[in-house]
Chain A
Amino acid sequence: MRVVVGQGSCGVATGARKTAAEFEKQIADKGLGIDVTVTGCVGTCYLEPIVDVYEDNGDMTRYVKVQPENVEKIVDEHLAGGKKVEEQAIDDIDKEFVTKQERIVLRNCGIINPENIDEYIAVDGYKAIEKALTMKPEEVIEEMKASGLRGRGGAGFPTWFKWNAAKASPGNEKYLVCNADEGDPGAFMDRSVLEGDPHSLLEGMIIGGYAMGASEGIIYCRAEYPLAIKRLEIAMEQAREKGFLGKNIFDSGFDFDIRIKAGAGAFVCGEETALIASLEGERGMPRLKPPFPAAKGYWQKPTDINNVETLANVPWIIYNGGAAFAKYGTEKSPGTKVFALAGKIKKGGLVEVPMGMTIRDVIFGIGGGIKNDREFKAVQMGGPSGGCVPADLADTPVTYEDITKTGAIVGSGGMIVMDEDTCMVDMARYFLNFTRDESCGKCNYCRIGTKRMLEILERITEGKGEDGDIEKLEELAIKIKEGSLCGLGQTAPNPVLTTIKYFRNEYEDHIYNKTCTAKSCKALIQYKITDTCKGCTLCARNCPVDAIEGNVKELHKIDQDKCIKCGKCMDHCKFDAIIKE
């Protein structure tokens, strides 16, 4: 018997380390001699901390939301007594969150111990590279072509094509770079793979390196992911010891090694040429293409850049064949894709589904619908480069082509769900604020244009919108798209354009009626006290600006001129007597 505690960043955030320590302590105290090991994130973030108890025959019981105080019961009844603790175990509905998925990228996440290479080898790990090394490089690329795998980082460019371009470029010194600088706010699948199954990424990189003739791989990883970097370092060390990295891998004569370069926090470094500049120790500013990195990249050498999720697919594809992968998904968007479900969703987490599943099936079928059973309003896809897809387009299949038609993009797979309390103008403002901050400043339209758009959006959300603002936003949006060198500027206006396209009435409400239907823009709401007020004085006592008047046991009143709309009164009221209008 063994106990496995999920310890991805999200598990750790909910206290998984304390839970694991409590298991170790109790097991030691009671002399049970059972191992406690670690695994990555299984994707059901809303159930963390998650503890799996494996019997010797392989049967597994999954316990959810296990805090240290719940540990003793599981140890006494299950580990010592052999009887499952039903009330702590995952229920059938939550089990469906995982069973409804098709897991290729996440095949090992939350199952194996990411810090132990033997567990990866036990699930056919490093068999794909062994197989690849018996094939010719062009056969490996051919297999990738058959799979139809497209880049999972955002642009959706066919992976085989990039590999082939790097292979075709003259020169002996070539580089394979893994972009692990997951910058889209709201997407965390790459973190999960790095933390939960780092060897699948390493194996994917070795295969790619072999196919294109590169001898060095570089993982450009976000500095915000310290756990990921630590697990990658452990994985690389173990892979070197086993001879999977380094000289003469599997006696094939093929040499390949990998190093990590920690990014320093710049969204624009998701762009290939900016990433290369950053790798070279420079400011991460993009340059004109061509030449493409496949011809002139890192130190002017042929360089291929793939994202984490893309590369983690590769071992599965080579081992099972490209055709097996292409069976999933649609003709133009084959395979599976991992989506990060977050926002106003009941069951947030990572889901991997065949492409072509509808947005509705992902959000309601797997994600369980909207938090607190509110109304589904929109889903933001593709982060700052993407857009908001409204509820009435929820039956759109999730493929590169169909999502692009809505004005959003699949992007790296973030799905932020919004309910009726989310103001769409504020969402547009949020993303513009992000892209304004992250613009590298090279192109005038991106640098100044995003600032001007943000100013207009700020005015609108502050209730100072004017006639003609929407048109001005649209005009600027088009100019920024046309006048920017890289993807950041070319897509920065998308969140504004899609919200204007689908929620123009909200913009108009803000500008002409000075109202925010979502009751989220502070300048456009008023707090009021209703008749249900019991006169307990709690609100008045907690108001930081003394804006509330009223005697004990009498109806209180808010002086709107003094009110700063901090919402403290509403937080403190025990009778729900305070409303936002």
Chain B
Amino acid sequence: MSEKACGCGCDGNRAAQFADLAPTLEKYAKVPGSLITILQKAQDIYGYLSPDAINYISEQTGIKPAKIYGVATFYAQFRLEPIGKYLIMLCKGTACHVNGADMIEEAISEHLNIADGETTEDGLFTLNNVACLGCCSLAPVMMVRSSEGDETYGNLTKDRVREVLDEIRKNAEVTA
């Protein structure tokens, strides 16, 4: 696109901006019922769904941005804000609740100074409460997702969760 038609504040060259999404769009853009799959891929690549991304997907699929926004806000998985390098998914399932997940949330919030849905200032951690990770016998549980993969931590205590977070931070500093 040479001329800027979107008025969204981008530099106009969206095909280049979203080049990583091209194979997905090529495969799914015209397949009915594929919106969620496309959004999942976009989030995988960019970490969240930006207004630019939503507009671009709209152009490519012919689905109205309002509808995409409606779908994106309906499902718990989709995020409209960028996230930290490490996504902490704290399980708030029943077994975790009974075994003190609220206490663990408090410990994380205090230790990182963020609440559910927020990201630390250094952009390292985002805290997200999730419904159930299915590791109920190890409650309370959290999963930490990053480019290195998913790591699950069970039988958490306030002390243990602080240790884990410090360890992750230390490793991140070493690699950086």
List A residues at the B interface (Cβ < 8 Å): 9-10, 12-14, 45-46, 48, 182-188, 191, 223-226, 261-267, 278-284, 299, 340-344, 348-349, 380, 383, 414, 416, 418, 422, 427, 430-431, 434, 438, 440, 566-567, 571
Across the interface, A10 reaches (CB within 8 A) one of B32, B98, B131, B154, namely B154
- Cβ–Cβ < 8 Å partners of A45 in chain B: 135-138
Q: Known: A186-B136, A265-B75. Is A280-B152 also a contact (CB below 8 A)?
A: no
User: What are some 14 contacts across the A-B interface (CB < 8 A)?
Assistant: A182-B134, A185-B97, A188-B136, A224-B89, A261-B36, A262-B37, A279-B33, A281-B35, A342-B136, A343-B136, A343-B139, A348-B139, A422-B98, A567-B103
Q: Is the CB of A223 within 8 A of B99?
A: no
Residue B141, interface by CB 8 Å: yes
List B133-162 residues whose CB lies under 8 Å from chain A. Answer: 133-139, 141, 150, 152-155, 158
Top 7 A-B pairs, shortest CB-CB distance:
A348-B137, A45-B137, A265-B76, A185-B93, A264-B75, A342-B136, A13-B152
- Cβ–Cβ < 8 Å partners of A48 in chain B: 138
Contact size range, B = 35 or more
Residue B132, interface by CB 8 Å: yes
Q: Is the CB of B106 within 8 A of A10?
A: no
Residue B62, interface by CB 8 Å: no
- Cβ–Cβ < 8 Å partners of B77 in chain A: 223, 264-265
In Å, the complex CA distance between A224 and B141 comes to 13
Residue B71, interface by CB 8 Å: yes
Q: Is the CB of A191 within 8 A of B32?
A: no
In Å, the complex CA distance between A188 and B34 comes to 28
Q: Nearest-CB distance from B54 to chain A (Å)?
A: 14
Q: Is the CB of A571 within 8 A of B133?
A: no
Q: Is the CB of A12 within 8 A of B131?
A: no
In Å, the complex CA distance between A267 and B70 comes to 17
- Cβ–Cβ < 8 Å partners of B152 in chain A: 9, 12-13
- Cβ–Cβ < 8 Å partners of A265 in chain B: 75-77, 130-131
Q: Known: A185-B94, A281-B32. Is A13-B71 also a contact (CB below 8 A)?
A: no
- Cβ–Cβ < 8 Å partners of B154 in chain A: 10, 13-14
- Cβ–Cβ < 8 Å partners of A183 in chain B: 131-132
Q: Is the CB of A188 within 8 A of B94?
A: no
Across the interface, A281 reaches (CB within 8 A) one of B34, B98, B155, namely B34
Q: Is the CB of A226 within 8 A of B74?
A: no
Across the interface, B33 reaches (CB within 8 A) one of A184, A186, A280, A440, namely A280
- Cβ–Cβ < 8 Å partners of A46 in chain B: 137
Q: Is the CB of B94 within 8 A of A14?
A: no
Residue B40, interface by CB 8 Å: yes
Residue B78, interface by CB 8 Å: yes
In Å, the complex CA distance between A226 and B149 comes to 10
Residue B95, interface by CB 8 Å: yes
- Cβ–Cβ < 8 Å partners of B92 in chain A: 185
Q: Is the CB of B71 within 8 A of A283?
A: yes
Q: Nearest-CB distance from B156 to chain A (Å)?
A: 10
Q: Nearest-CB distance from A396 to chain B (Å)?
A: 20
Q: Is the CB of B95 within 8 A of A186?
A: yes
Q: Is the CB of A342 within 8 A of B74?
A: no
Q: Nearest-CB distance from B104 to chain A (Å)?
A: 13
In Å, the complex CA distance between A571 and B107 comes to 12
B61 and chain A: residue at smallest CB distance: A281
Q: Nearest-CB distance from A363 to chain B (Å)?
A: 14
- Cβ–Cβ < 8 Å partners of B150 in chain A: 226
In Å, the complex CA distance between A278 and B70 comes to 12
Q: Is the CB of B131 within 8 A of A185?
A: yes
List B42-95 residues whose CB lies under 8 Å from chain A. Answer: 70-71, 74-78, 89, 92-95
In Å, the complex CA distance between A509 and B78 comes to 41
Identify the interface centre among B36, B89, B103, B153: most chain A CB within 10 Å of its CB: B36
- Cβ–Cβ < 8 Å partners of A225 in chain B: 134
Q: Nearest-CB distance from B162 to chain A (Å)?
A: 12
Q: Is the CB of A281 within 8 A of B71?
A: yes
In Å, the complex CA distance between A309 and B102 comes to 31
Across the interface, B95 reaches (CB within 8 A) one of A182, A223, A278, A342, namely A342
Contact pattern, B 96-128, Cβ under 8 Å of A = 1, otherwise 0: 011100010010000000000000000000000
- Cβ–Cβ < 8 Å partners of B95 in chain A: 185-186, 342-343, 348, 416
